C-alpha cells in the first residue's frame, strides 16, 4: 500500500473502502463513539486528518487534564446556558460520575481538586489516551477499531449525500480515497486550534447539503481593550496577572455575572480564567453593540467604606503610589491599572479613586481571533437533529462534540459534553445499523 506518511500529494486514487461505520474525527467525541460501537462488536473505522488522534485532548492536558467537575448535576447542567436542555439529555447517558468510572476502567484513577474540578491522579492526558487506544484496538470481543490517519474529509464523492450509504471522499498524502459506510459519525471539532485539526472546514460541506449551522465564533477567549493600552502599560505589564480580583458584568439584557479569581493582561487586552468565565456575555455584547464593559474590583475582600477611609487617610509627604501601597497594598499592575483607566485628575480625586478601586471600568472592543480561543460556540443546530444526534437532512449521518451548537466555560464542562455527545452519537449509529 502507498506510504501515507509521505508529504507529497498525489492525484492517484487509493483503493476504496467499505465499512460499517466511518467516524470522522479522532478527538474525545469520535473516540467515545468508536468505543460504543466496538463494545457492541461493530467494526468501526476512525478517520482523521492529523498524523495521530487526540491532539487537542493532549494539549488540554498539558497543564493538568481537567476531565470533568464534581458539582451537583443541576448546577453542572446550568453551565451550558441556552443549550442546557439539549446537553442535559446527553449527560443522562454519561454524567460526571460515569466518566470517572470510565477512566477508572482504563486504570486511571481521578481526584477532586480544591476547586471541585476532576483530574487524573497523575494530572496527565497521555497515559489515559494510550490506555484508551489500546482498548479500542483490542476490545474484549469483536473486531478492534481501525484508524486511518492523514485522511482529510472533503465531503461526499460526486456531490452525493442524503443517503445512509453515500460515499465519502478523503484526501491523503498518497491520493484521494472513497469510503462507503452504512453509517457516519462526524466529530470534527469546532474552529479553534486549527493546527491541531479543528479548523471548521466542515461547515460549508454541511451547509451545502442544507444542514443548518450557526456561525462558529470564539468562546473562552481573550479580548482587546477599547483604544488599546498605553505603550507604558503594554510594555511593562503585558503577561502579568491580576490576582485576587473580581469582575462583574451586566449585559445588555440585564444578565449579571460576578466572580472572584485572576486573569492576565496581554499586549492588547485581557485573557485568562476569570475573563473566559465571562467571555460569552462579553462577546455577545460586543456583537450586539460594538463594545462590552466589565468592572474590576481590585480589592474584593475589602468593603468600599474601608477602601474610601484608607484613601482619605492623611498621607503627609508620601506620594500617592506610596500611600496606596502602604494603606491598601495596591502596587504593580493593580496600581498601574488605576492610572491607566482613570487619568491624572480622577486618580487625585479621593472619591473617584476609591470608587475605581472597587469597580474600575474596562471596556472591550473585540474578541481575539477564533484560532486563539480555547473553544468555539456555534455549529450544527440541535433543532435539525434527532434526539440521537442524527441529521434529519442526512439519514445515517450523526454529529458529536464541539461541532454541535453549544458552549460552556472551562472547568471540565467542555470535555464532559464532548464525551457524552460522542456516546450518544455512537449509540445512535448502532441503532441505525440495527434498524
DSSP sequence for 10-57: -S-BPPPEEEEEEEE--SHHHHHHHHHHHHTT--EEEE-SSSSS-HHH
Return d(Cα 261, Cα 266) in angstroms, integer. 17
> Do 211 and 248 fall into the same domain?
no
> Do 235 and 290 fall into the same domain?
yes
> Do 146 and 234 fall into the same domain?
no
Return d(Cα 46, Cα 344) in angstroms, integer. 61
Phi, psi of 205 (to 5 degrees): -65, -40
> Do 204 and 249 fall into the same domain?
no
- What is the CB neighbour count within 10 angstroms for residue 75? 10
> Do 212 and 233 fall into the same domain?
no
Question: Using alpha carbons only, how large is the chain's radius of gyration in Å?
Answer: 25
Any idea what the CATH number is for the domain that residue 418 is in? 3.50.50.60
> Do 154 and 289 fall into the same domain?
no
- Helices of type H across 208-367: 231-237, 273-289, 304-312, 320-328, 332-342, 344-347, 350-359
Q: What confidence score (pLDDT) does residue 385 get?
A: 98
> Do 243 and 213 fall into the same domain?
no
C-alpha cell at 404: 454541535
Domain boundary (337, 367, 397) is at: 367
Domain boundary (343, 367, 391) is at: 367
Closest CA to 274 of 330, 220, 333, 340: 220
> Do 165 and 30 fall into the same domain?
yes
Residue-wise pLDDT tens digits, 382-417: 999 999 999 999 999 999 999 999 999 999 999 999
Residues in the chain: 435
C-alpha cell at 426: 455512537
Q: Is residue 7 part of a domain?
A: no
Are 222 and 275 within 8 A, CB to CB? yes
Mean pLDDT of the chain: 93
Q: Is residue 2 part of a domain?
A: no
What DSSP element (H or E) covers 28? helix 28-39
What DSSP element (H or E) covers 297? strand 292-297
Q: Domain range holding 232?
A: 223-367
Q: Is residue 8 part of a domain?
A: no
> Do 127 and 215 fall into the same domain?
yes
Return d(Cα 172, Cα 12) in angstroms, integer. 10
Residue-wise pLDDT tens digits, 274-300: 999 999 999 999 999 999 999 999 999
Q: Is residue 5 part of a domain?
A: no
Domain boundary (336, 367, 398) is at: 367
The pLDDT-based confidence of 152 (bands split at 50, 70, 90) is: very high
> Do 300 and 388 fall into the same domain?
no
Q: What confidence score (pLDDT) does residue 3 get?
A: 37
- Helices of type H across 71-125: 73-78, 84-91, 96-105
The pLDDT-based confidence of 14 (bands split at 50, 70, 90) is: confident
Instruction: State the helix-helix crossing angle for 332-342 and 350-359, rounded to 10 degrees.
Output: 120
The pLDDT-based confidence of 6 (bands split at 50, 70, 90) is: very low
Q: What is the mean pLDDT of residues 30-44?
A: 96
Q: What is the pTM of this model?
A: 0.91
Q: What confidence score (pLDDT) does residue 140 get?
A: 86
C-alpha cell at 427: 449509540
C-alpha cell at 173: 498524502
Return d(Cα 120, Cα 104) in angstroms, integer. 9
- In the DSSP assignment, the letter for residue 15 is P
- Number of structural domains in the chain: 2
> Do 208 and 65 fall into the same domain?
yes
What are the residues whose beta carbons fall under 8 Å from the beta carbon of 204, sequence distance 6 or more?
A: none
The pLDDT-based confidence of 185 (bands split at 50, 70, 90) is: very high
Return d(Cα 331, Cα 254) in angstroms, integer. 33
Residue-wise pLDDT tens digits, 235-289: 999 999 999 999 999 988 888 999 999 999 999 999 999 999 999 999 999 999 9
Q: Is residue 193 part of a domain?
A: yes
Return d(Cα 54, Cα 126) in angstroms, integer. 9
Q: What confidence score (pLDDT) does residue 165 get?
A: 61
> Do 48 and 97 fall into the same domain?
yes
pLDDT at 112 over 80: yes
Amino acid at each position: 500500500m502507498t506510504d501515507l506518511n509521505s508529504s507529497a500529494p498525489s492525484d492517484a486514487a487509493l483503493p476504496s473502502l467499505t465499512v460499517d461505520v466511518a467516524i470522522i474525527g479522532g478527538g474525545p467525541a469520535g473516540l467515545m463513539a468508536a468505543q460504543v460501537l466496538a463494545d457492541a462488536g461493530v467494526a468501526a473505522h476512525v478517520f482523521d486528518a492529523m498524523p495521530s488522534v487526540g491532539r487537542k485532548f493532549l494539549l488540554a492536558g498539558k497543564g493538568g487534564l481537567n476531565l470533568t467537575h464534581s458539582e451537583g448535576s443541576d448546577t453542572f447542567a446550568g453551565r451550558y446556558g441556552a443549550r442546557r436542555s439539549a446537553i442535559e439529555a446527553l449527560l443522562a447517558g454519561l454524567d460526571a460520575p460515569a466518566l470517572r468510572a470510565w477512566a477508572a476502567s482504563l486504570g486511571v484513577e481521578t481526584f477532586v481538586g480544591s476547586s471541585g474540578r476532576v483530574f487524573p491522579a497523575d494530572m496527565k492526558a497521555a497515559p489515559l489516551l494510550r490506555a484508551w487506544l489500546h482498548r479500542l484496538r483490542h476490545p474484549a470481543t469483536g473486531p478492534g477499531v481501525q484508524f486511518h490517519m492523514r485522511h482529510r474529509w472533503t465531503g461526499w464523492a460526486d456531490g452525493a449525500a442524503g443517503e445512509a450509504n453515500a460515499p465519502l471522499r478523503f484526501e491523503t498524502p498518497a491520493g484521494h480515497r472513497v469510503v462507503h459506510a452504512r453509517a457516519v459519525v462526524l466529530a470534527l471539532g469546532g474552529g479553534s486550534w486549527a493546527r491541531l485539526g479543528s479548523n471548521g472546514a466542515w461547515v460549508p460541506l454541511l451547509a451545502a447539503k442544507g444542514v443548518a449551522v450557526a456561525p462558529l465564533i470564539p468562546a473562552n477567549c481573550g479580548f482587546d481593550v477599547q483604544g488599546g493600552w498605553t505603550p507604558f502599560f503594554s510594555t511593562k505589564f503585558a503577561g502579568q496577572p491580576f490576582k485576587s480580583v473580581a469582575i462583574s458584568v451586566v449585559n445588555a439584557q440585564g444578565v449579571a455575572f460576578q466572580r472572584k479569581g485572576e486573569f492576565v493582561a496581554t499586549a492588547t487586552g485581557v485573557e485568562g480564567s476569570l475573563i473566559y468565565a465571562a467571555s460569552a456575555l462579553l462577546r455577545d455584547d460586543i456583537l450586539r453593540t460594538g463594545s462590552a464593559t466589565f468592572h474590576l474590583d481590585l480589592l474584593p475582600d475589602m468593603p468600599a467604606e474601608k477602601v474610601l477611609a484608607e484613601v482619605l487617610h492623611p498621607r503627609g509627604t508620601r506620594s500617592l503610589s506610596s500611600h496606596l501601597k502602604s494603606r491598601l497594598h495596591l502596587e504593580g499592575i493593580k496600581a498601574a491599572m488605576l492610572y491607566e483607566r482613570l487619568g491624572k485628575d480622577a486618580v487625585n480625586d479621593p472619591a473617584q479613586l476609591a470608587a475605581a478601586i472597587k469597580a474600575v471600568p474596562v471596556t472591550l472592543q473585540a474578541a481575539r481571533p477564533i484560532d486563539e480561543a480555547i473553544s468555539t460556540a456555534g455549529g450544527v443546530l440541535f433543532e435539525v437533529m434527532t434526539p440521537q444526534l442524527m441529521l434529519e437532512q442526512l439519514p445515517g449521518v450523526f454529529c458529536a462534540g464541539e461541532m454541535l451548537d453549544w458552549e460552556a466555560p472551562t472547568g471540565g464542562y467542555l470535555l464532559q459534553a464532548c464525551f457524552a455527545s460522542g456516546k450518544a452519537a455512537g449509540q445512535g449509529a448502532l441503532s441505525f445499523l440495527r434498524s
